[in-house]
Amino acid sequence: MDAEDIIEEVSSYSQAAHIVVTGGEPLIHDELGKLINALDSEGYHTTVETNGTIYRDTSIGLASISPKLASSIPTPARDPKGDGEWAEKHEQQRTDMTALTRLIEDYPFQLKFVVTDSTDIDEITNLVERVRQQTSVRVRNQDILLMPEGQTENQIAKKREDVADLAMEHGYRYTPRLHVNLWNDEAGR
């Protein structure tokens, strides 16, 4: 679909005022900036869910930045080629401080971390501190959200309390993974 077709589709939902752009890494697409600008000119608030490794100069209403932690590195079982190259590439490219700090400086933002277990908190704390040192924008603890990792409601339920406790302990916010809570790992949702 081109931008005009997307806007036409969006406008068919008369109650819609807030658009969330997500899926993989949406900012990888060159044309996305034009779509976001067009949505903005039509009066829509646009949230972009990004991992923070790509910067686009566009009309983002909220940059929902979810930096990838070391625990997100693909396991050998999930490597499509089975040669470890995917995991190595992921590790090298999972953080781009230049893009991350530009997103924070140029847009309203939140930092959202998917937490596998309590060992992730040191990496989160270190990354937040690096961001605070490298940007002129104030990054408040309330701008940081923690959510439990899991692809099913059952997996998330096992981690929910521990992640909520980590959030409270560090003054961060807790957020559920609503799409998983609602639809589990059902394809097509």
Cα–Cα nearest to 128, from 67, 63, 51 = 67
Q: What's the burial of 116, exposed, middle or buried (CB within 10 Å: 0-12/13-18/19+)?
A: middle
Cα–Cα–Cα angle for 123, 128, 133, nearest 5°?
Answer: 125
Phi and psi torsions of 85, nearest 5°: -65, -40
- Determine whether the annotation assigns residue 66 to a binding site: yes
Calpha distance 106→100 (Å, rounded):
10
**What are the residue ranges of helices labelled H in 107-187?**
120-134, 153-170, 178-183
Tell me the residue ranges of DSSP E strands in the chain: 18-21, 45-50, 62-65, 109-115, 144-148, 173-174
- Determine whether the annotation assigns residue 24 to a binding site: yes
- Determine whether the annotation assigns residue 158 to a binding site: no
Cβ atoms 113, 148 nearer than 8 A: no
Q: Output the known binding site for substrate.
A: 22
Q: Output the known binding site for S-adenosyl-L-methionine.
A: 24, 66-68
Q: Output the known binding site.
A: 22, 24, 66-68
